[in-house]
Amino acid sequence: MADMLEFEQIRLEPAYRKVADALIGRIVDRTLRVGDRLPGEVELARQFGVNRSTVREAMRELESGGLIGRRRGSKRMVITRPGRELVAGGVSRALVLHDVAFVDVWEALSVLEPPIAAAAAARRAAVDLEELQGIASDFAADNARATHAVAQVAAFFRVVGEATHNPALMLAQEPLLQLLGPSLAAMIDQVPQARARIATAQQRLCEAFAARDAETARSWMAKHIRDFRRGYELAGINMLRRVVPARDDG
Say whether both 48 and 98 belong to one domain. no
pLDDT digit string (tens) for 190-234?
898 999 999 999 999 999 999 999 999 999 999 999 999 999 999
Q: Which of 79, 105, 131 is the last residue of a domain?
A: 79
Decide: 227 and 153 in contact? Cβ < 8 Å: no
Interacting residues of 211 by C-beta distance below 8 A, sequence separation 6+: 121
What integer pLDDT is reported at residue 2 of this predicted model?
58
Given a cut of 60, whether residue 45 has pLDDT beyond it is yes
Given a cut of 90, whether residue 96 has pLDDT beyond it is no
Does residue 157 belong to any structural domain of this protein? yes
What integer pLDDT is reported at residue 228 of this predicted model?
92
Question: How many separate domains does the chain show?
Answer: 2
Buried b (16+ CB within 10 A) or exposed e, 214-245: bebbbbbbbebbebbbebbeeeebeeeeebee
Say whether both 65 and 129 belong to one domain. no
Rounded to an integer, the average pLDDT of 75-81 is 90
Burial class from Cβ neighbours inside 10 Å (0-12, 13-18, 19+) for residue 89 reads: middle
Burial class from Cβ neighbours inside 10 Å (0-12, 13-18, 19+) for residue 176 reads: buried
Does residue 246 belong to any structural domain of this protein? no
Alpha-carbon separation of residue 203 from 67, 135, 219 (angstroms): 38, 10, 13
Say whether both 91 and 214 belong to one domain. yes
Compute the distance between CA of residue 65 and CA of residue 191 in angstroms, rounded to an integer. Answer: 39
Does residue 10 belong to any structural domain of this protein? no
- E strand segments, the chain: 68-70, 77-79
Rounded to an integer, the average pLDDT of 22-38 is 93
Say whether both 124 and 34 belong to one domain. no
* Containing structural domain, residue 106: 84-234
What integer pLDDT is reported at residue 58 of this predicted model?
94
pLDDT level of residue 249 (50, 70, 90 thresholds): very low
